């Protein structure tokens, strides 16, 4: 139970940081609860998936893939549509949420490693 609590706490901290950084005109404060619930559901699914990483190194690779994917997609959409298009914001938003899921998996994996004596 403790690893799940650490994972959900990581998600909560990241979503709270986003709520603090993103202006209220862009995303209203009550919406962040639904963002947390959606990210937590995705994370819970990924943690239980049989092909998900079992080590911190695997989760770090997922974080790196999220960063790389966000940068590549944002660069492609910027070249195709320009900076003012919403495609770039959508790409970066999805990338940030994927990185949050991977960070929660990393935190959870670190706690699991400590419990197993690793």
Q: Given a cut of 50, is residue 118 above it in pLDDT? A: no
Q: What is the pLDDT of residues 3-49, one digit of tens each?
A: 899 999 999 999 999 999 988 888 888 999 999 999 999 999 999 99
Q: What is the pLDDT of residues 43-67, one digit of tens each?
A: 999 999 999 998 999 999 999 999 9
DSSP letters along 59-105, please?
Answer: HHHHHHHHHHHHHHHHHHHHHHH-TTSHHHHHHHHHHHHHHHHHHHH
pTM score above 0.95? no
């Amino acid at each position: 139970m403790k690893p799940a609590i650490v994972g959900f706490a990581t998600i909560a901290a990241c979503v709270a940081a986003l709520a603090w950084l993103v202006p209220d005109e862009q995303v209203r404060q009550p919406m962040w609860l639904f963002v947390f619930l959606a990210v937590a559901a995705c994370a819970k699914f990924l943690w239980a998936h049989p092909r998900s990483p079992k080590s911190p190194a695997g989760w770090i690779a997922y974080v790196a893939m999220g960063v790389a994917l966000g940068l590549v997609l944002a660069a492609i959409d910027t070249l195709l549509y320009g900076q003012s298009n919403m495609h770039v914001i959508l790409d970066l938003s999805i990338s940030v949420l994927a990185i949050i899921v991977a960070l929660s998996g990393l935190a959870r994996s670190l706690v699991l490693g400590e419990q197993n004596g690793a």
